[in-house]
Structures are given as C-alpha cells and as structure tokens.
Amino acid sequence: MRLRRSLAAAAGLVAAAALALAGCSSSSPSGGDAASSAPSSSAGGATDSFPITMQSALGDVTIESEPQRVATWGWGSTEAAIAVGVYPVAVAEQRYTVGEGNLLPWVEEAYDKAGVEHPAMLTDDGTGSEVPYEEFVAAKPDLILAPYSGLTQEQYDLLSDIAPVVAYPEAPWTTQWDEEIKIVAEALGRSKAGDEVLTGIDDFLAEQKAAHPEFEGKTFAGIWDGDGYVSVYTPADPRVNILEELGLKIAPAVSDLDTSDGGFYYELSDEELDKLQTDFVITYSNSEEEAKAVLTAPELQAVPAIKAGKVAQVFDPVTVSSVSPPTALTFTWDGGLPTLIDKISDTLQ
C-alpha cells in the first residue's frame, strides 16, 4: 500500500480517472471537525435503488438508503468515492505519505477543486492495526467503506455498531483496483458513475499499452529492499498486477518462489535472489538515497536484472503511494502511474 512499510512488515499497507466533481461549500485547510456538519455527497445523487446488500469476507450488510455521511478506512476507497461524486466526511490519515493529519495531495486537490470542506482525519499509525472507534463515532457516519483494508473480524464487528461497514470481498489488502471502485460505487448507489470511471481508466490503460509496444510480454518483479531482507510483491497485489494491463507480465519466478500462502508479498532470502529471473525489476524505496543504495547493494547483485541495470525505480513516499497501488485519482495524476510508465519505458529501451 503505497508502499508503506507495513505492507512488508505487518498486515497493513506496506505498503487511479475522471472526477465527478460537484457541490459547493467552503474548504477547511485543517480538516478536524470541519466536515462534521457537511454531508458526504455532492450534487447528482445515487442512480441505483435502495436498499442495497453488500457482501464481504467479514459479513454482509444492507444499506437502507443513500448514504449522506461516508467515512473511509484503508487505502483507495476515499478516491473511489470522490471519483463517483461523494466526498467522505472522515478519512484515514496517511502518515507514511504526508505525515500526521494531512490529506494525500490528489485527495486535497479534489476537495479544493470541488469547493468541499476537508474531511475529519481518522488516526492511523500506518498499519491499520488500531482503529480509532471514538473518532468514527464523532464523525457520525451512516456508512463506512473499507474494501481495501486490514480490518479484523473484531474491528469489523465493533465498527458495525457505529454504522454499516463494507469490507473486503476475500482477504485483507488484496482487493483489486477495479473491484474496489465497483464495490464503492455500488455501496453508494452510483454503479453507473463507477462504470464510467472504470471505462475512463480502461481507455487510459489501452492508450498507454498502444503507445508502448516495447512492454509486450516483458517480465518483471516488484520488490522492496528492506533492512536485511527483500520483499517481493505477488500477483495478488494490485500495485504489480495492474501493470499487466499494459502488456507486461509478472515473472513466473515470482510465483515459483512465493511463500506467502495467498498474501500480497513475501520475503526472499539472499540465498534465493539469483532465482528471481525476470526482464527487469521495479524497486520501491522511501528516498532517492535508498533507491541508489539498491543498485549497489552487494547481495542484490545476485538478482540478474539488477546486476544488468534493468531497474525502474520509484521513490519518495508520495510517488510510491500514488502507484502502490494506483487509486481512482492517481491513474492519470502527473506524479502517479504516468511517471512509472515512463521509467519502465526508459529501462526497457
């Protein structure tokens, strides 16, 4: 997620499309309680009929009427809601990316462009392991969206005492980018708007694939070089499988070496680095300094692609987050997926 370190350390985040922007109210730079009296939805409204029943791995929930005060938890659901015209009143802070109490830049831009007050910030240490229940209560949501999160059954049950909760369909942190947009749009009664968002993203990806014939069939692996270990992202992780839409292929070696038992990443020992056979590698790092260190680390020279200099690097928290994985607002965001596509093209050429 956003390659938050929690993606490679715990069951948390490490760790994209046309906006339906409308509505009007004054924005609040600091968030806090600014959104406590403002509804989530902008003009336009739902097009689907309520009640709507949503299924998830943690329980099914029926949404009786169009949500007016939406809260989000995890990654990407805020952007998916905004993309279909709903501005949540409370969202999880993203400490890894922008620090405590701040909005992601693409989210802030969306609220400001629409003239909507900034949401209240829900305390999140970056792993999602602790849920701020009292802050959820204070936000008074009538729906909580968490389809790409690490909610436990206990957390889900406690949140359900506050408002209906839409969780992930199968496993924590594995919901695919398009599935998340569909889930959020359906829960908000805006499946038509969700389809339009997905069509826009599909068109963008098709254009990029056509513009980069050098991608076709090239294999890759996405890794995070930690302190004494290398994390490899599995095909279950949307940050890497989204790139297959461009004609790229996750290297077979990634699955052959997978020890995650269905997870989104696994740690690869130094003794097996030479088995990570692939045309090129994508590395995610916290800073440019760390990214440069990956290229010269002696143990990583065992990875054939790294030794050959076939490496596309993504670094700094904002850029890493914008593609880890992409959300409904970062597919075409200047610093997001387009930047990674350019780096991959440079690496292959």
Same domain? 171 vs 80: yes
Spatial neighbors of 239 by CB under 8 A, at least 6 apart, are 1, 3, 15, 222, 233, 323, 324, 325, 326
Is position 63 within any domain?
Answer: yes
Residue that has been written with the tokens 């405590």 in this structure: 100
CA 214 to chain CA mean position, Å:
27
The answer to whether residue 251 sits within a structural domain is: yes
315 part of a folded domain: yes
Do 55 and 155 lie in a common domain? Answer: yes
175 and 243: one domain? no
β-bridge mates for residue 71, sequence order:
90, 144
- The arithmetic mean of pLDDT across residues 129-155, rounded, is 96
Q: Say which amino acid occupies 111.
A: Y
Q: Is residue 314 part of a domain?
A: yes
pLDDT score for 44: 62
Flag the least confident range among 23-37, 54-68, 274-288, 309-323.
23-37
Single-letter residue type at 90: A
Burial class (CB in 10 A: 0-12, 13-18, 19+), 71: buried
Contacts 24+ apart (CB under 8 A), 41-45: 41/66, 41/67, 41/68, 41/70, 41/85, 41/86, 41/87, 41/188, 42/85, 42/86, 42/87, 42/114, 42/116, 43/85, 44/20, 44/85, 44/193
Structure confidence at residue 40 (pLDDT): 57
Per-residue pLDDT tens digits for 76-130: 999 999 999 999 999 999 888 998 889 999 999 999 999 999 999 999 987 778 9
Q: How confident is the model at residue 35 (pLDDT cuts 50, 70, 90)?
A: very low
Residue 269: Cβ-neighbour burial (10 angstroms; 0-12, 13-18, 19+): exposed
| Of 314, 310, 308, the residue nearest 339 (C-alpha) | 314
**What are the respective helix, strand and coil percentages of the chain, to the nearest 5?**
40, 15, 50
Note down the domain range covering 262: 212-348
Q: Of 64, 56, 43, 49, which Cα lies nearest the Cα of 163?
A: 64
- pLDDT of 251 higher than 60: yes
290 located within any domain: yes
Question: Considering the domain boundaries, does residue 11 fall inside one?
Answer: no
What is the pLDDT at residue 23?
28
Question: Among 38-47, 116-125, 202-211, 338-347, where is mean pLDDT lowest?
Answer: 38-47
Same domain, 56 and 147: yes
Say if 342 falls within a structural domain: yes
Return the SS3 of 157: helix
pLDDT at 228 over 80: no
Q: How confident is the model at residue 39 (pLDDT cuts 50, 70, 90)?
A: low
276 shares its domain with 332: yes
Q: Are 276 and 303 in contact (CB under 8 A)?
A: yes
In this structure, the number of other CB atoms found within 10 A of the CB of residue 274 comes to 12
pTM above 0.85, yes or no: no
Q: What is the pLDDT of residue 182?
A: 98
Q: Is the pLDDT confidence value at 169 over 50?
A: yes
What's the total number of domains in the chain? 2
Percent of the chain predicted with pLDDT > 90: 75
Residue 10 has pLDDT above 80, yes or no: no
Residue 25: per-residue pLDDT: 27
Q: Which of 33-37, 191-195, 221-225 bottoms out in mean pLDDT, i.e. has the lowest? A: 33-37
Same-domain check for residues 249 and 168: no
177 with 237, same domain? no
d(CA 66, CA 200): 25
Identify whether residues 126 and 40 lie together within a single domain. yes
CATH number at residue 284: 3.40.50.1980
- Sequence-separated (6 or more) residues with CB below 8 Å from residue 48: 186, 189, 190, 191, 192
For 31-40, 107-116, 175-184, which range has the lowest pLDDT when averaged over its residues? 31-40
pLDDT at position 325 is: 86
Residue 2 lies in a domain: no
The residue out of 175, 203, 231 marking a domain boundary is 203
> DSSP label at 317?
H
DSSP H or E run through 136 = helix 133-139
Q: Both 93 and 137 in a single domain?
A: yes
Mean pLDDT of the chain: 87
Q: Which of 341, 337, 342 is nearest to 322 (CA)?
A: 337
Q: Last residue of some domain: 181, 203, 225? A: 203
182 and 256 inside one domain: no
Strands 230-233 and 219-225: antiparallel
Residues 95 and 242 placed together within one structural domain of the fold: no
182 and 36 fall within a common domain: yes
Sign of CA dihedral 166, 164, 156, 126: positive
Question: Cα 228 to chain center, whole Å?
Answer: 26
pLDDT at residue 149 is higher than 70: yes
pLDDT score at 244: 97
Residue 262 binned pLDDT confidence (cut-offs 50, 70, 90): confident
Retrieve residue 70's tokens. Answer: 């939406």
Q: Which of 139, 172, 203 is the last residue before a domain boundary? A: 203
